[in-house]
């Protein structure tokens, strides 16, 4: 998705939020207030029981855009609210990304060679990378339609959250692309070795054959939005181990396909995955804070310990109750 298209979508979807944010006691302000108590990307405990998704906590047209506005606000202001632990984690990640950057060129060269010499890999890579674009929107639409047709409120909510994560991640990724101005590995003259250079904002990284500007490579947009949506499903259905495995596996394959398609460097994919994960987690936690505001007395699932006496000995056990 091109930068201007994403920013047009971003502006279109956030205009309705402006009216809400001017009031003193609006939902978006309450969400921000709660975010100060529980870090949106931290260890928040969420109630993901199907009964927690009901008429009280349902996402309406107005609340969808209010939540989206809150998601965007928290995503862009996160650097100003980071704690010591957050900066420590960022430093560790920067070291990993910095170490991987030394392998950007060898990985790119190896991926291009692999794709050139194996037609099966080239075909598969092309299909997977397309799945990370418009096909992903089709997939979300299909899942959402299934939820609405069969009245599965949790699936409806999860799909709506995935679209919010997709939009928020695309906005963050677009700004990061603009600031980084990194050259893409695919836009170098034949016989010229590609170089992963950062040119900064307002730079002209390259032009396509038709003369149009080629947008920055850092981070990978496909990877960012894929991991954002995958994280939503993985967190909302973490009680079903297969769903997180499938979600993250699909997102990882999309990220790797961007390397084999010679569209991105390996560090573009790594950073995109991290941005997508953090955005998806923030969107999920923001919704569950919204749920607590809408249904503050809603009972949560409980876990209790008990002892049973059988066959002459005691047997410990755990009881998980859905309420």
Q: CB–CB of 162/232 below 8 Å?
A: yes
Dihedral (CA of 121, 123, 129, 135) sign: negative
Assessment of whether the complete model's pTM goes beyond 0.85: no
- Residue 314's beta-bridge partner residues? 309
Calculate ∠ Cα 44-45-47, nearest 5°: 135
- In a structure prediction context, what are the per-residue pLDDT tens digits for the chain, which is 323 residues long? 444 444 444 444 443 443 334 444 466 667 765 555 554 445 688 889 999 999 889 999 999 999 999 999 999 998 888 888 889 999 999 999 999 999 999 999 999 899 888 888 889 988 888 887 777 777 888 888 888 888 889 999 999 999 999 999 999 999 999 999 898 898 776 667 778 888 888 777 666 555 567 778 999 999 999 999 999 999 999 999 999 999 999 999 999 999 999 999 999 999 999 999 999 999 999 999 999 888 776 654 444 444 455 555 555 544 444 44
Q: CB–CB of 168/71 below 8 Å?
A: yes
> Dihedrals φ, ψ of 133, to 5°?
-105, -115
pLDDT of residue 24: 45
Q: CB–CB of 314/307 below 8 Å?
A: yes
Rg (CA), the chain: 22
pLDDT of residue 156: 93
Report the distance separating Cα 166 and Cα 232, nearest Å. Answer: 10
Q: Cβ of 73: how many Cβ atoms within 10 Å? A: 19
pLDDT of residue 205: 66
- Structure token digits, residue 244: 């997180």
Report the distance separating Cα 244 and Cα 16, nearest Å. Answer: 33
pLDDT of residue 90: 94
pLDDT of residue 19: 38
Domain spans of the chain?
A: 3-321
pLDDT of residue 151: 85
pLDDT of residue 26: 65
pLDDT of residue 197: 87
């Amino acid at each position: 998705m091109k930068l201007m298209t994403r920013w047009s979508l971003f502006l279109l979807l956030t205009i309705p939020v402006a009216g809400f944010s001017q009031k003193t006691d609006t939902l978006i302000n309450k969400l921000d207030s709660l975010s100060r108590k529980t870090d949106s990307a931290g260890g928040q405990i969420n109630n993901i029981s199907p009964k927690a998704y009901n008429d009280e906590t349902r996402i309406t047209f107005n609340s969808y855009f209010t939540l989206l506005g809150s998601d965007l606000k928290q995503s862009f202001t996160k650097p100003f609210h980071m704690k010591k632990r957050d900066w420590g984690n960022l430093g560790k990640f920067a070291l990993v990304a910095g170490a991987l950057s030394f392998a950007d060129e060898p990985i790119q060269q190896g991926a291009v060679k692999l794709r050139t010499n194996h037609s099966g890999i080239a075909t598969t890579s092309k299909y997977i990378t397309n799945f990370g674009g418009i096909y992903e929107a089709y997939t979300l639409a299909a899942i959402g339609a299934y939820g609405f047709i069969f009245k599965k409120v949790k699936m409806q909510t999860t799909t709506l959250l995935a679209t919010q994560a997709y939009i928020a991640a695309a906005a963050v990724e677009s700004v990061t692309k603009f600031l980084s101005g990194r050259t893409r590995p695919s836009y170098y003259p034949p016989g010229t070795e590609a170089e992963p250079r950062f040119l900064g904002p307002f730079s002209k990284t390259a032009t396509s054959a038709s003369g149009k500007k080629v947008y920055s490579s850092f981070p990978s947009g496909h990877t960012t939005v894929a991991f954002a949506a995958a994280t939503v499903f993985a967190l909302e259905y973490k009680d079903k181990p297969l769903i997180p495995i499938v979600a993250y596996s699909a997102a990882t394959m999309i990220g790797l396909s961007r390397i084999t398609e010679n569209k991105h460097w390996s560090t573009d994919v790594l950073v995109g995955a991290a941005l997508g994960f953090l955005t998806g987690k923030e969107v999920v936690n923001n919704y569950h804070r919204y749920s607590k505001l809408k249904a503050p007395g809603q009972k949560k699932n409980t876990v209790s310990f008990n002892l049973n006496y059988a066959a002459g000995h005691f047997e410990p056990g755990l009881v998980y109750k859905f309420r």
